[in-house]
Amino acid sequence: MSRAAELIELGGALERSGQYAAAWKNLDEGGELKRPPDWPKWEGPGSSCSTLLVRRRIRHLGAELRNARFANMAVPHVERVIAVTEPRLKSLLARSFPQVTYVEATQSVQADCESSYEGLSRHFGSTEEAIAASFQP
């Protein structure tokens, strides 16, 4: 088993057991090993970045839908958030989080930094309380 697969498997187990900070760390690092970012990694609120690109590097659509709200939470910390998603999710996510620009993987984008959904979760959803507070109906 590759190091990326080990980290992703461990991250999934930690997420299921409610150890969110450790889960997101492992999932984020595993995702970066599996699919390295094209832009410098976003280090979270307070870091220098004007355009943040968000990608789903690992996992399934369900995880993207559950964690899409964290892209919206990054909006106050950068000038622009662009999230790459599948065509069938674009209109749903754009209606739910209109401050985020949603594009398809085939579209060319320019950014200053990049994050996965798991990376955003590290910054905005590392505890059960933070996850509950981030819920947006």
Q: What is the pLDDT of residue 137?
A: 73
Query: Does a structural domain hold residue 123?
Result: yes
* Residue 99 DSSP SS3: coil
Note the pLDDT of residue 39.
94
Looking up tokens 């930094």, which residue turns up?
113
Would you tell me the crossing angle of helices 61-74 and 87-96 to the nearest 10 degrees? Answer: 40
Q: Is residue 18 part of a domain?
A: no
Amino acid identity for residue 101 in this structure: T
Average of pLDDT values for 5-23?
A: 96
> Quick one: average pLDDT of 59-88?
92
Does residue 11 lie within any of the structural domains?
no
Taking residues 113-117, what's their average pLDDT? 95
Task: Answer whether residue 117 is part of any domain.
Answer: yes
Q: Which residue has the higher pLDDT, 79 or 135?
A: 79
What domain count does the chain have? Answer: 1
Burial of residue 70, with CB atoms counted within 10 A of its CB: 0-12 exposed, 13-18 middle, 19 or more buried: buried
Say if 43 falls within a structural domain: yes
Q: In this model, does residue 91 exceed pLDDT 80?
A: yes
Is the pLDDT at 82 greater than 90, yes or no? yes
Of residues 42, 39, 67, 79, the one with CA closest to residue 126: 67
In a domain, 96, yes or no: yes
Q: Which domain holds residue 106?
A: 38-133
If you average pLDDT over residues 61-68, what whole number do you get?
Answer: 87
Q: pLDDT (tens digit, 9 = 90+) per residue, 24-33?
A: 999 999 999 9
Q: Is 49 helix (H, G, I), strand (E, B) or coil?
A: coil
Residue 109 in tokens: 């984008």
Output the pTM of the full model.
Answer: 0.91
- Is residue 32 a part of any domain in this protein? no
Confidence of residue 1 (pLDDT cuts 50, 70, 90): confident
Q: Report yes or no on 15 lying in a domain.
A: no
